[in-house]
Structure 1
Amino acid sequence: MMFALLLLGVFGLSLSVSSATQVGLSEKILVFPYETDFSFVALIPQKEMGLRAFTLCMRVATELPEDRQIILFAYRTTDYDELNVWREKDGRIAFYMSGDGCSFHLPPLTTFRSSLCLTWESRTGLAAFWMEGKRSAYQVYKPGHIIRPKGTVILGQDPDKHLGGLEAVQSFVGEISDVNMWDFVLSRSMIQAWHYGHKVPKGNLFDWATLEYEVNGNVMVVDDD
C-alpha cells in the first residue's frame, strides 16, 4: 500500500481507484475502458531492470483508430524513457530507448487479440518484433546500449517525466494480457511456443502468472474467457 501511496503522491493525481500491491494475473486480462490521464497499472519487476538484452511479450486488442498514437509499454527512470513501446500515428510499431526510436511496419492492431513480442540485444543491436509468432525483418538499433535500472514500469500511460506528465491522448484503450519479460533473447521456437500458449520458461523480469502489480484509476481486471 505504501508503494501505491507513493505513486499517487509523486504523480500529484486524485484517482478514483487505487489498490495495494496484488500478485498474479493468470487467466486474467486488464481492460482499459476509455482514455484518461490517470489510469494505469504499475508493474513491479522481479529483479533490477539494468538490461543488455530482453524479450518482451504481450497480447493486445484495441479499437482505437490506426491514426491514434498508443502507448503499449513504458519504463522510465528519472531522466530518460528507458524503454517505451508505441503504436505510432502512422500505424507503425516502434520502441524507444533513451532517444530516437526504431519503427517497424507490422500488421495492424485490431479488436481481435494480437500476440506481440519485441527482442533486442546490445552486443549487435539486433532488434525485431514478432507478431503472431512471425518475426519482422531485423533492424540494428543502439548496439552497445544499456538500459538503466531503478525506474518504473507502467501499462496504460506514457509518463513524460518520472512518474508524471500523463496525457489522455496517448493513453491505452483496450485489453492487455499475458505480459512477460526476460532479460535475454528468447529463441524463435520459444517465442512461437509462447504465442500458441505452450509452456515456456517463466519471465525472470515479469511473469504474468506471478506478477506483482498495482491498479490505479479506471482499469478493470477481468477473467480471460
Structure 2
Amino acid sequence: MLTYRDLGVLVAPLLLCGFSLSSASEVGLSGKSLIFPYETDYSYVRLTPQKPLELSAFTLCMRLATELQDDRQIILFAYRTGDFDELNVWREKDGRISFYLSGDGINFNLPPLTTFKTRP
C-alpha cells in the first residue's frame, strides 16, 4: 500500500464523531471538527491516545465534506498499529469509497462527496 507521501494526498476536511472503545469515557471527539483551511500535500491529523488502547470494539462515524477535485485519491481515515495499516477508508480517483481491513480492499459506490455535509 502506498504511503501518504507517495500519494501526496490531502486528508479532506472532515468531521469526526469519535470512537467506541471498551474503556471510553464521556470525553471524546463527538461534535468536534477538523478543518484544513487550504490544500497542501502534507496536511493530516494524528490522534495519539494517552494510554495504550485495548480495543474490544471499534466504531467509526464520519460526516464528510470536501472541495477537492474528484480525480485524486483522498485518505479519509487510517488506523495504524506499529508498522501496519489496520483500517483505511479512501476515496478513490474514480469516486468510489474503498474500505481496507488488514489487506485488500472492498469498494462501494456512494453519492459523491461535496462541500455540503453528507447524510449518515
TM-score class, shorter:
0.5 to 0.7
Following the alignment from structure 1 to structure 2, what is the Cα–Cα distance between the partners of residues 28 and 98?
A: 28
Q: Paired residue for 1:65?
A: 69
Alpha-carbon shift at residue 86 of structure 1 (Å): 0.6
Q: Which amino acid aligns with 2:71?
A: D
Following the alignment from structure 1 to structure 2, what is the Cα–Cα distance between the partners of residues 65 and 49?
A: 37
Q: Paired residue for 2:53?
A: 48
Following the alignment from structure 2 to structure 1, what is the Cα–Cα distance between the partners of residues 80 and 28?
A: 23
Give percent identity, aligned residues only. Answer: 71
Alignment of 1:165-180 (within 5 A): none
Partner of 1:110: helix, strand, or coil?
coil
Partner of 1:65: helix, strand, or coil?
coil
Taking structure 2 as the reference length, the TM-score comes to 0.63
Q: Could you say which structure has the higher strand fraction? A: 1
Following the alignment from structure 1 to structure 2, what is the Cα–Cα distance between the partners of residues 57 and 108?
A: 17
Which string of whole-angstrom CA distances, capped at 9 and with x for unpartnered residues, describes residues 19-42 of structure 1?
xxxx86665422112333433222
Q: Which amino acid aligns with 1:71?
A: I
- Structure 1 unaligned runs (5+)? 1-22, 115-131, 134-225
Alpha-carbon shift at residue 62 of structure 1 (Å): 0.4
Question: Residues 26 and 84 from structure 1, CA distance in 2 versus in 1: closer, same or farther, beyond 3 angstroms?
Answer: closer
Taking structure 1 as the reference length, the TM-score comes to 0.36
Q: Paired residue for 1:112?
A: 116
* Count of matched residue pairs: 93
Q: Paired residue for 1:95?
A: 99
CA RMSD of aligned residues (A): 2.5
Alpha-carbon shift at residue 47 of structure 1 (Å): 6.3
Q: Paired residue for 1:81?
A: 85
Alpha-carbon shift at residue 101 of structure 1 (Å): 0.5
Out of 28, 34, 37, which is 2:38 matched to? 34
Q: Which amino acid aligns with 2:76?
A: L
Following the alignment from structure 2 to structure 1, what is the Cα–Cα distance between the partners of residues 77 and 47?
A: 10
Larger RCO (CA within 8 A; separation ≥ 6): 1
Question: Residues 86 and 29 from structure 1, CA distance in 2 versus in 1: closer, same or farther, beyond 3 angstroms?
Answer: same
- Structure 2 unaligned runs (5+)? 1-26
Following the alignment from structure 2 to structure 1, what is the Cα–Cα distance between the partners of residues 93 and 83?
A: 25
